[in-house]
Structure 1
């Protein structure tokens, strides 16, 4: 795989200056997200979530951001999945938005908690019925005998809820990441990238620059 050694891209599309960053990282993130959306990126709300067991064994996967509010970042999942169980046992997480097409990245570290049941209900109720059935049918992250087992579970719940409203299963809902750190990364030439980091403090946020 010698070609991997030769793969290289120069980043030249932008820069970051302290004086141009907002005082609140949520406001800054909203601007960046809107830029990613208007740039036509595929699923710009996709983020990599890293969780860890209580003894520090990490795992990561891609989920979809479904809400940004004044507290943080919300996504939904099966609470009995690996990430769900790890986050409930060790409520610290890291997240990454990789918008490579526009030479940008956002990293987040913070504390995780379940959202209120009412909020999970509200989001679940606007999902397509097929997705609702999937939340019931999938024993997420568990070993199954094969695809046929999943199809049988899907058929079971499709029959069970035929002609009726599909309620949210208690094992499915939202997590809120309350950030203690948010980093905005902008690619620059010669790997001298711009890295601007907001650290949470008692009275708000401190903005610092990191070496690339």
Structure 2
């Protein structure tokens, strides 16, 4: 990493992500998403990266889920990518914004039909009496939308983490790891430095 001259953290992320997609056996786009409620109580779970670029890192979910409720109260989040095959991590911290409806519609339309129906059937993060109850709701949604397109549910959408910092961590022998930090400047651009391991 030290010999990588990239001054743009998104270009460096693109390079690392491409390597992860070639080497990770499962879900290189998996990322831990940490949120907190308005009282500061944290929560973390794995989600899938569905888009990234200079505007940020995008994922989709049920907005009534636990994470959706926390993001409504406190629109800040942290992400962690861990690519074990490469012995690398990328940390992202930033503000969270909603993805425009047209963008969410386009992504929802690209999902498999059963995934679309599942978004309607699931009351994500709510108590569930039995697996059979969920599957019954799924069958109801199949019947409801039989023969037609499945529209995006009004409670389902996308979020974009707009980074304030991005850290690239590379494993080195004897725990002499390499950490490269990019901090967003208020007027645009990035300040770059190293951190002790």
TM-score for the superposition, normalised by structure 1: 0.90
Q: Which residue of 1 aligns with 2:30?
A: 46
Q: What runs of 5+ residues in structure 1 fail to find an aligned partner? A: 1-15
1:203 to 183, 188, 195: 188
Whole-Å separation in 1 of the counterparts to 2:24 and 2:73:
37
1:173 to 154, 157, 160: 157
Larger-gyration structure (1/2) = 1
Aligned residues: 196
How many Å apart are 1:54 and its aligned residue?
0.5
2:78 to 75, 94, 97: 94
| SS of corresponding position for 2:7 | coil
User: Superposition RMSD on alpha carbons, in Å?
Assistant: 0.9
Q: 1:47 to 1:21 in 2, by over 3 A?
A: farther
Higher RCO, 1 vs 2 (CA within 8 Å, ≥6 residues apart): 1
Q: In 1, are the aligned partners of 2:79 and 2:92 still within 8 Å (CA)?
A: yes
Q: 1:109 to 1:25 in 2, by over 3 A?
A: same
Q: In 2, are the aligned partners of 1:79 and 1:85 still within 8 Å (CA)?
A: yes
Moved over 6 A (4+): none
Counterparts of 1:1-212 in structure 2, within 5 Å, are 16-17=1-2, 20-201=4-185, 202-212=187-197
